[in-house]
């Protein structure tokens, strides 16, 4: 009994000690964190105090050196003319003009595009040269960024392209989003790139959306939030800055801001029930950077501007809206990081606003960093430099708020400090870095990650009378017919054959491939009718692909005829959807429908599976699955609506989202 009492008393004393010590230790920890934060702010304030107004404004700018074209000074056409006598070249190394610009102008960041990437060593040296040149002029280390979303938007031609966001959600496993993003982040870090303009947090609520589509995880806000946060965390695992885009949501548009000026007539309450949910959850989960959308929201931002091209009144887009960026994103949603504009050379901006007003409206609305027009010729190169001088003049005249500038630069510096950029002083490339980049960027191990995820994403949406998978017997013929709108995907068949051989199946002599064109439609129908087995590959990338009366949908009528004629003789057809899943509603008579969610041009197969040039494995995986060598277990992450008699999307559902 005494021993028991002693144990109880001892336990009580431990609890009392913990009761007093834990709060003290927590307080000490909080005090230490507060001290570090104060020190960080002090360091940032010291840097700010030494910066000129020009330095500050340039720190707020992303520049992009993409293509170098010599254009005569007196030319009014930004597209290079024959009078220059020189062919345009991709900027894979810095020329003297760009070096001078990076030395004399202390830009905050640079954006790389496909034209900047040749191989791993070249990329490492290009990035290092940018940082070293910037540093030689007293600049602060750059955000080096790229749009490496994965799938259709993957800029590094020798890296791992991945599978795309909708495919990630189709696996029904958020861990795959984190794993795939971690691969991207590792490869970017190996190349010296510290910022990824990803993930896309847009809710693809409009099937007619021409620019988001499979770049979105889903048409469910909660699914987008879950997978988007997992993706963001995957980048953060590799110390890569993630960027949520396109705030406050690009998923409910039927226009592309690259070529038009979208308008979403949703109220703020409607946005809060859908588009804003992923952004809010990701902000709460630790987002550092948010990219704006060049979209009009007249129910939220009522201020207008007279378009310079049409003379008509247009609403200020989110990129220029203080109501959306400051009142909503900052104050109401609590975002405390860096707001970056989408590219300011997109048609939504250039066709409606003059340059001075673009600078004034974006900065005063709360944008911290501006993505300047892409440099694709010498005129645009000079134009970019002129913009910096223009911004200084606007600030000096009081048109651009100095307080806004200081707030922006402070946020930029804090983010650079958080990711260790302020402390980095040596950007010289070592042989070890080159070796690691060559070995690991686009490695077989990384591409196997994408291949495994592509297999998990495959979704069997329909399978009438066990039409899928095929049971190909000796001497039977299989025709794989590609629609005109996916002719550039034919190389996926050769890749699929290689993958089948790895599984012990050789069907080369039994598989034939055709591409439907306006000249061979009758031949396609004839060959498809004769074949023992037929796989039809279709690509819907816009609603025009669903309409047999459009060029984009030309092959759909041919596919209808093939399906019907094969039914007439008791044969079946498998439809493989290689991009948007909405084409499942177009081919209701297909016996089986398998969704792959993404594809890209592949006219030739890489030399070895998992090596060579980048490729998106989704379609090849889908073709392999048709021969019974994959377990198809994916789920459809979007609702698929029925089509009306005009093959237009209706409000009635055909297949319901499975997530």
CATH number reported for the structural domain that contains residue 181 in this entry: 3.20.20.300
* Residues of the chain by 3-state class (helix, strand, coil), percent to 5: 45, 15, 40
Q: Are 329 and 346 in a shared domain?
A: yes
Which residues have C-beta within 8 Å of that of residue 536, sequence separation ≥ 6? 481, 483, 528, 559, 562, 563, 573, 574, 575, 576, 587, 590
DSSP 374: P
Q: Find the domain containing 543 and state its range.
A: 444-655
**pTM value > 0.85:** yes
In whole angstroms, give the CA distance from residue 497 to residue 503. 10
Query: Does residue 623 share a domain with residue 555?
Result: yes
Active site residues: 258, 342
- Asked if 243 and 387 sit in the same domain, the reply is yes
Q: Which residues of the chain register pLDDT less than 50?
A: 1-29, 32-33, 75, 77-83, 610-612
Contacts of 434 (CB under 8 A, 6+ apart): 120, 121, 124
CA atoms of 297 and 294, how far apart (whole Å): 10
Tell me if 449 is assigned to some domain. yes
CB 144 within 8 A of CB 427: no
Looking at 391, 418, 440, the residue that finishes a domain is: 440
**Helical segments of 366-467, H only:** 378-396, 402-418, 431-440, 444-457
278-280-284-287 Cα dihedral, nearest 10 degrees: 70
Q: Do 106 and 70 share a structural domain?
A: yes
15 in a structural domain: no
What size, in residues, is the chain? 659
DSSP string, 177-188: HHHHHHHHHHHH
Q: What letter would DSSP give residue 200?
A: B
Q: Which residues pair with 292 in a beta bridge?
A: 247
User: By C-alpha distance, which of 320, 218, 309 is closest to 260?
Assistant: 309
Give the pLDDT confidence score for residue 172 in this predicted structure: 98
Would you say residue 20 lies in a domain?
no
Quick one: 308 and 389 in the same domain?
yes
Retrieve residue 285's tokens: 């989960």
The domain boundary residue, chosen from 405, 440, 475 = 440
CA-to-CA distance for 66 and 371, rounded, in angstroms? 13
The DSSP-derived string for 89-114 is EE-SS--HHHHHHHHHS--SEEEE-G
Tokens of 55: 């330095």
Other Cβ atoms within 10 Å of 35 Cβ, number: 10
Total domains in the chain come to: 2
Q: Is 207 helix (H, G, I), strand (E, B) or coil?
A: coil
* Burial status of residue 431 (CB atoms within 10 A of its CB: 0-12, 13-18, 19 or more): exposed
Around Cβ 12, how many Cβ atoms within 10 Å? Answer: 10
């Amino acid at each position: 009994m005494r021993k028991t009492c002693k144990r109880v008393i001892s336990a009580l004393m431990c609890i009392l000690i913990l009761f007093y010590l834990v709060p003290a230790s927590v307080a000490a920890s909080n005090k230490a964190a507060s001290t570090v934060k104060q020190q960080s702010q002090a360091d940032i304030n010291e840097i700010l105090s030494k910066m000129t107004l020009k330095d500050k404004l340039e720190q707020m700018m992303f520049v992009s050196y993409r293509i170098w074209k010599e254009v005569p000074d007196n030319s009014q056409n930004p597209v290079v003319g024959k009078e220059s006598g020189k062919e345009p070249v991709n900027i894979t190394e810095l020329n003297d003009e760009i070096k001078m610009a990076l030395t004399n102008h202390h830009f905050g960041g640079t954006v790389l595009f496909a034209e900047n990437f040749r191989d791993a060593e070249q990329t490492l040296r290009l990035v290092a040269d940018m940082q070293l040149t910037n540093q030689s002029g007293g600049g602060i280390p750059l955000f080096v960024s790229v749009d490496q979303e994965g799938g259709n938007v993957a800029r590094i031609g020798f890296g791992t392209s991945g599978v795309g966001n909708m495919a990630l959600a189709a696996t029904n496993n958020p861990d795959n989003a984190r794993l795939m993003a971690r691969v991207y982040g590792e490869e970017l870090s190996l190349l010296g790139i510290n910022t990824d303009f990803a993930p896309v947090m847009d809710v693809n609520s409009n099937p007619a959306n021409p620019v988001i589509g499979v770049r979105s995880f889903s048409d469910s806000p909660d699914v987008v939030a879950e997978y988007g946060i997992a993706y963001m965390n995957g980048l953060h695992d590799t110390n890569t800055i993630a960027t949520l885009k396109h705030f406050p949501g690009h998923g409910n548009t039927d226009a592309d801001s690259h070529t038009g000026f979208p308008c979403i007539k949703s109220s703020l309450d409607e946005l809060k029930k859908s588009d804003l949910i992923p952004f809010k959850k990701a902000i709460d989960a630790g987002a550092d950077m948010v990219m704006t959308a060049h979209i009009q929201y007249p129910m939220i931002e009522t201020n207008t501007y007279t378009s310079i091209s049409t003379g008509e009144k247009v609403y200020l887009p989110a990129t220029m809206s203080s109501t959306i960026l400051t009142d909503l994103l900052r104050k109401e949603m609590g975002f405390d990081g860096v707001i970056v504009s989408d590219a300011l050379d997109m048609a939504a901006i250039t066709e409606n606003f003059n340059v001075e007003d673009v600078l004034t409206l974006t900065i005063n609305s709360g944008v911290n960093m501006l993505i300047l027009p892409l440099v694709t010729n010498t005129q645009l190169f000079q134009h970019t430099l002129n913009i910096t001088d223009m911004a200084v003049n606007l600030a000096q005249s009081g048109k651009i708020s100095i307080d806004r500038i200081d707030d922006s630069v402070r946020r930029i510096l804090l983010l650079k400090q958080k990711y260790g950029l302020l402390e980095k002083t040596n950007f010289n490339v070592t042989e070890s870095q080159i070796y690691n980049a060559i070995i690991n960027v686009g490695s077989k191990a990384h591409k196997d990650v994408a291949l495994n995820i592509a297999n998990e994403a495959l979704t069997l949406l329909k399978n009438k009378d066990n039409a899928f998978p095929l049971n190909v017997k000796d001497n039977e013929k299989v025709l794989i017919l590609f629609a005109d709108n996916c002719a550039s995907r034919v190389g996926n068949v050769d890749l699929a054959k290689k993958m089948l051989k790895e599984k012990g199946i050789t069907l080369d002599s039994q598989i034939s491939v055709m591409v439907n064109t306006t000249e061979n439609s009758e031949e396609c129908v004839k060959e498809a009718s004769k074949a023992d087995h037929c796989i039809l590959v279709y690509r819907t990338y816009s609603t025009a692909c669903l309409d047999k009366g459009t060029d984009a949908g030309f092959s759909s009528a041919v596919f209808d005829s093939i399906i019907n004629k094969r039914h007439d003789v008791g044969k079946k057809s498998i439809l493989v959807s290689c991009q948007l899943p909405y084409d499942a509603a177009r081919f209701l008579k297909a016996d089986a429908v398998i969704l792959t969610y993404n594809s890209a041009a592949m006219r030739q197969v890489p030399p070895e599976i998992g090596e060579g040039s980048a490729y998106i494995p989704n379609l090849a995986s889908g073709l392999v699955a048709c021969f019974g060598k994959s377990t198809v277990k994916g789920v459809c992450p979007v609702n698929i609506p029925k089509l009306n008699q005009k093959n237009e999307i209706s409000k009635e559902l055909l297949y319901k989202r499975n997530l």
